[in-house]
Amino acid sequence: YQMRLIAALIVLLSLALPAAARPLSEEETASLAKAVDSYIRATSSGDAVKIVKAIPPRILNIFAGSAGIEAKKLEKTLVDQTEVMTKGVKISDASAVKEGLNAEDAVLADGTPVTWVVVPTAFTAETGGKTTRNEQPPLALSEGGKWYFMRLDGAQQKQLAAIAYPFLADAEIPDGTVTPMN
């Protein structure tokens, strides 16, 4: 009986402890690279539908709940807003680090395993005669065999994201930078 109790305590404690970073496997690296390339193509071309589809469904559900609207309606609204934001913006020189990344693993309360990694990306944006170099570190999450992407800009977004993914509450995610080029 004591051995089972000790084993149960060890399992519970291991779930409560932060995961240690680990290198991505070859298979994870390949699937992440493919997903990153698709995401960069979508953002570079302003494909609002694909950009919104890259957001983790759990995040969409949390944002929809906090806004008091259905997730499908939120998706439509986000697509419309993304189309407006990307109109007139020319993206070039987009790149991402896709190898040598360290991931962390977590298990959600419902038993769903999640692997996550920060993917350093950079691109040049031109709009209204102004050019900037943007270095963004989107968070890539693998859930249910699919990679999703999101940017966590600011404490409020991080708090909302941590409702869906509690491990993000204490995660160190670097802020993006925007540097004027002209």
Q: What are the tens digits of pLDDT across the range 61-80?
A: 988 988 899 989 999 999 99
Residue 44 has pLDDT above 90, yes or no: yes
Mean pLDDT within 128-140: 94
The answer to whether 83 and 46 have CB atoms below 8 angstroms apart is: yes
pLDDT value of position 19: 54
Neighbours of 47 (CB within 10 A): 19
Q: Which of 99-113, 134-148, 150-164 has the lowest mean pLDDT?
A: 150-164
pLDDT value of position 5: 38
pLDDT value of position 159: 87
Question: What DSSP state is assigned to residue 176?
Answer: P
Cα→Cα distances 113→82, 98, 141, 160, Å: 30, 21, 10, 19
Which band of pLDDT confidence, cut at 50, 70 and 90, is reported for residue 40? very high
- Its pTM stands at 0.84
The answer to whether 168 and 156 have CB atoms below 8 angstroms apart is: no
| Average model confidence (pLDDT) across the chain | 88
- Residue 132 amino acid letter: T
Q: Between residues 46 and 14, which one has the greater pLDDT?
A: 46
Neighbours of 37 (CB within 10 A): 13
Mean pLDDT within 13-24: 63
Residues 6+ apart with CB under 8 A from 122: 93, 94, 95, 96, 133, 134, 135, 136
pLDDT value of position 12: 41
Residue 148 has pLDDT above 70, yes or no: yes
